[in-house]
Amino acid sequence: MNQWFPFSDVMPFGVFVFLIVLLSVWTLFWKGLALWKAARLSHKYWFIALLVINTVGILEILYYFFFSKQGEKRDEHPE
């Protein structure tokens, strides 16, 4: 058993690195999208929460598709 890479019995090191890179790209994409939308809608508390809390994209996806829609309806000003 390799002391440096404890998962060597389960998967090769290259597969592990690939999964970490893939997960990082996934998280970065959704975090950027959600932060952009929170900034555009002036949702300061959501922006801070999305920036600080790392949920591998889950919170970001929920904000982008559900919570930001509620904020858009409230932010509209009838003319």
Q: Report how far residue 46's alpha carbon sits from residue 32's, in angstroms, rounded to the nearest whole number.
A: 13
Q: Let me know: does 2 contact 8? Beta carbons within 8 Å.
A: yes
Amino acid at 67: F
Domain with 13, as residue range(s), is 6-75
Residue 10 forms part of a structural domain: yes
In the chain, the number of structural domains is 1
Q: Report how far residue 47's alpha carbon sits from residue 50's, in angstroms, rounded to the nearest whole number.
A: 5
The yes-or-no verdict on residue 71 having pLDDT over 90 is: no
Q: Let me know: does 5 contact 16? Beta carbons within 8 Å.
A: yes
The per-residue pLDDT for range 2-57, each reduced to its tens digit, is 566 666 777 787 888 899 999 999 999 999 999 999 999 999 999 999 999 988 88
pLDDT at 15: 85
Residue 1 forms part of a structural domain: no
pLDDT at 46: 93
pTM: 0.72
